[in-house]
Structure 1
């Protein structure tokens, strides 16, 4: 399995960090046992909460590139790739109920994404994201 985040490279640094955090929280909720390692005790006996046991490449895509990627992931050929998206609608919403209310009234052409997180078979994830460079 492979894990990748693709985030809009044109966003301000704070929004990039926020997008990565939101995607990571949602991912860990779904796959905690697969992704988060066990707690670790240091030499002094202090416990450090487990962190990700997998690398998380963060790629930088353009706005249209991310939208095309997200739209492609709705195809049943990619049903085994878990996809988490963070849209402009979500970022602007102050309450979760506002987000769900607005999102439920929008269709695909009206949605733009700040970032997406993919978790699935390595070959498929590489095929989808292999042409996207690391975010720098």
Structure 2
């Protein structure tokens, strides 16, 4: 997917029962993954007048929203049915692992129906993303 800020919207939805530390962890992991997987989401590096480099940032606002765990699963299922939406799920399983190798071993043995999501990144057409998430409140 190629991100166009005039056409697309991105959000991250977090399970509203997560504590602040786990929520911040989930959002940061999804943010890094979205930056890597969605072309054009992050702008180029910039320099200040005194030539200090500032890394590129996201081209559009990135609201962090809250939802119930059940609704997160439902959002993910709906997003998977829409070819224009890029979804980035983050699971409780991933959050419980100490190493990537542990995560790899455990996720490969799990059936997706049994994987609990704690957060979900969504990128897609503004109207589609708003339809899915417009009723959710900001994570505060």
TM-score normalised by the chain length of structure 2: 0.87
Q: 2:41 aligns to what? A: 35
Task: State the secondary structure of the residue aligned to 2:13.
Answer: strand
CA deviation digits over 1:6-60, x for unaligned, max 9? 01122111111111110011101112x4111122222322221111121101101
Task: State the secondary structure of the residue aligned to 1:115.
Answer: strand
Q: How far has the Cα of 1:105 moved from its partner?
A: 2.5
User: Unaligned 5+ residue runs, structure 2?
Assistant: 1-7
Q: How far has the Cα of 1:86 moved from its partner?
A: 0.6
Q: 1:74 aligns to what? A: 80
Aligned-residue CA RMSD (Å): 1.4
Q: After the TM superposition, which residues 36-55 of structure 1 pair with which residues of structure 2 at under 5 Å, given as runs?
A: 36-55=42-61
Number of aligned residue pairs? 133
Which 4+ stretches in 1 moved above 4 angstroms?
none
- Residue among 116, 121, 126 paired with 2:120: 116
Q: How far has the Cα of 1:93 moved from its partner?
A: 1.3
User: Unaligned 5+ residue runs, structure 1?
Assistant: none
Q: 2:99 aligns to what? A: 95
TM-score normalised by the chain length of structure 1: 0.89
Higher percent of residues as helix? 1
